[in-house]
């Protein structure tokens, strides 16, 4: 849609330049054509006024409309005053002035305002009356009324045109304003819809994640929990049926199998419960000043039978000033999962090193083993929160792919950091940092 207001503004600028230039040439013509010092002085004064107005308009100290109207009135006043010094060619000069003013009049109507059209028309009639009285010309006297009526009709016609044009311009401005308002409302509605779509997409993603969590939960319940439960049931049934026939050594072996399976089942259920809480956002975060060495020592003691089963040595280093601001229960879960993971992928009689070191406001714990190690692709899958990647240990131990996921969730709750470094066949280093201060 063409913006009439902008187009009209450009027309104003162009017309003002053209008219100002024309008036300047007329003033220069009078300055050269008439060797009368009064007229020459008037032309010089008019040229100076034109120059001053041009500078003011250029520096935006005055509007184009005001500048043009002043130019028009200056030109008219110049003609009126100059007429008094040209008695010999009064009629000829009047005719030229009337033509000149008739050309200015519509431009005043366009560039100025309706009131200036009427004022200028009145001034032209007064000028005509002044020349008629001054020249004593019979033709002007006989046709004064007709000339005045023609000039008045011409002024009224321009006045009406200007009025219609102003009304049309106001209507167009109102229409443009309404269109802009509608566009703004549409933009706001579009932004609102985009925001709503983003929320819907986010909710859809959360639902998909919950569905994946549910599927993983059912998979674990249906597969991984069944094996230790069957072992417990199987050996329990053997002990029940053969309670009088089995010897002490066999009974002890059955008891060990039942105990190991029960421990495996218990650990698996604990991981599953912790992981489910993390997925559902129901983990309670209760931070306090926590002594890492104390927590780690308790976990190592608790897992002594796991370490002894593979004859793995666990070495703890750097326990000086190892206090952090964290949830002690979460720290215990983090370390237990990483230590169990290290034992799983270590070979019998290997050594696992746990080191603590302060780095940039964090206490960084590194759990280092010399076991199976991982490739870069395996590390990438391990860090993906939605990829429940797992592999069998050095003695075919199974997993659920939950241990590292639980570790990452817990570290995130404690505003910590997590990293993995590993090479296939050369072991792994799992490191995590926890903040020293609150």
What are the residues facing 429 on neighbouring strands?
A: 368, 421
| CB atoms near residue 157 (< 10 Å) | 13
Beta strands in 164-301 (DSSP E): 288-291
**Residue 158 tokens, joined:** 């321009």
pLDDT for position 430: 92
Q: Would you give the DSSP letter of residue 352? A: E
Mean pLDDT lowest among 276-285, 287-296, 315-324, 332-341: 276-285
CB burial class (10 A; 0-12, 13-18, 19+) of residue 33? exposed
Question: What's the mean pLDDT in 53-68?
Answer: 71
pLDDT digit string, tens, across residues 122-135: 777 777 776 677 66
Place of tokens 């003691």: 301
**pLDDT at residue 90 greater than cutoff 60:** no
Report H helices in 34-143: 37-58, 64-83, 90-111, 114-135, 138-142
Give, in order, the Cα–Cα distances in Å from 392 to each of 81, 305, 373, 399: 112, 20, 12, 7
Inter-residue contact 371 to 394 (CB < 8 Å): yes
Inter-residue contact 303 to 432 (CB < 8 Å): no
Euclidean distance between CA atoms 415 and 400, whole angstroms: 25
* β-strand pairing of 351-359 with 417-423: unpaired
Euclidean distance between CA atoms 333 and 368, whole angstroms: 18
pLDDT digit string, tens, across residues 377-434: 888 888 877 776 677 788 777 665 667 877 888 888 888 999 999 888 888 999 999 9
Strands of the sheet with 417-423, listed across from one edge? 313-317, 351-359, 362-369, 427-435, 417-423
pLDDT digit string, tens, across residues 256-270: 878 877 876 776 677
For 286-435, CATH number?
3.30.565.10
pLDDT for position 207: 78
Q: Of 280, 396, 290, whose CA–CA distance to 334 is shortest?
A: 290
**Residue 188 tokens, joined:** 């706001």
Q: Would you give the DSSP letter of residue 87? A: G
Mean pLDDT of the chain: 76
| pLDDT interval class at 100 (50, 70, 90) | low
**Residue 25 tokens, joined:** 């040439």
Q: Of 339, 372, 365, 374, whose CA–CA distance to 419 is shortest?
A: 365
How far is it between the farthest Cα atoms of the chain?
A: 157
| pLDDT interval class at 280 (50, 70, 90) | low
Residues 6+ apart with CB under 8 A from 386: 209, 212
Inter-residue contact 290 to 328 (CB < 8 Å): yes
**pLDDT at residue 78 greater than cutoff 70:** no
pLDDT for position 160: 79
- Sequence length of the chain is 438
pLDDT digit string, tens, across residues 306-350: 788 889 999 888 877 678 999 888 888 888 888 888 888 899 989
Euclidean distance between CA atoms 314 and 305, whole angstroms: 12
Domain extents for the chain?
4-181, 225-282, 286-435
Inter-residue contact 82 to 73 (CB < 8 Å): no
pLDDT for position 389: 67
Question: What's the mean pLDDT in 48-57?
Answer: 74
**pLDDT at residue 246 greater than cutoff 90:** no
* β-strand pairing of 351-359 with 427-435: unpaired
| pLDDT interval class at 41 (50, 70, 90) | confident
**Residue 209 tokens, joined:** 């994640």
CA 397 to chain centre: 49
């Amino acid at each position: 849609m063409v913006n009439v207001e902008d187009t009209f503004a450009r027309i104003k600028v162009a017309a003002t330049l053209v008219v100002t230039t024309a008036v300047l040439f007329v003033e220069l013509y009078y300055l050269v054509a008439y060797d009368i010092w009064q007229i020459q002085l008037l032309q010089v004064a008019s040229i100076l006024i034109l120059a001053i107005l041009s500078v003011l308009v250029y520096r935006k100290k005055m509007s184009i409309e005001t500048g043009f109207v002043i130019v028009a009135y200056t030109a008219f006043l110049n003609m009126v005053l100059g007429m008094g010094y040209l008695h010999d060619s009064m009629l000829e000069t009047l005719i030229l002035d009337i033509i000149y003013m008739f050309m200015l009049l519509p431009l005043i109507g366009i560039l100025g305002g309706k009131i200036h059209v009427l004022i200028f028309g009145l001034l032209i009639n007064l000028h005509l009356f002044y020349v008629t009285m001054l020249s004593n010309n019979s033709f002007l006297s006989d046709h004064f009324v007709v000339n005045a009526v023609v000039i008045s009709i011409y002024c009224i016609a321009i006045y009406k045109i200007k009025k219609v044009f102003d009304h049309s311009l106001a209507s167009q401005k109102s229409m443009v304003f309404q269109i802009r308002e509608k566009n703004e409302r549409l933009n706001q509605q579009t932004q609102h819809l985009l925001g709503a779509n983003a929320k819907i997409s986010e909710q859809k993603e959360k639902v998909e994640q919950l569905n994946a969590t549910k599927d993983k939960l059912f998979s674990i319940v249906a597969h991984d929990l069944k094996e230790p439960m069957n072992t417990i049931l199987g050996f329990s049934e053997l002990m029940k049926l053969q309670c009088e026939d089995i010897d002490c050594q066999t009974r002890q072996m059955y008891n060990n199998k039942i105990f190991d399976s029960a421990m495996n089942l218990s650990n698996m259920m604990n991981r599953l419960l912790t992981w489910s809480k993390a997925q559902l956002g129901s983990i309670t975060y209760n931070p306090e000043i926590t002594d890492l060495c104390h927590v780690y020592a308790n976990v190592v003691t608790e897992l002594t039978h796991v370490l002894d089963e593979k004859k793995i040595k666990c070495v703890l280093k750097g326990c000086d000033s190892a206090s952090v601001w964290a949830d002690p229960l979460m720290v215990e879960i983090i370390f237990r999962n990483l230590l169990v993971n290290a034992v799983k992928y270590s070979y019998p009689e290997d050594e696992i090193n746990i080191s603590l070191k302060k780095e940039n406001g964090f206490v960084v714990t590194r759990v280092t083993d010399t076991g199976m190690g991982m490739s870069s692709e395996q590390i990438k899958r391990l860090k993906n929160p939605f990829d429940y990647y797992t592999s069998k240990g050095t003695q075919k131990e199974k997993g659920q792919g939950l241990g590292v996921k639980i570790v990452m969730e817990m570290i995130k709750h404690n505003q910590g950091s997590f990293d993995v470094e590993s090479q296939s066949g050369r072991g792994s280093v799992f490191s995590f940092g926890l903040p020293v201060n609150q």
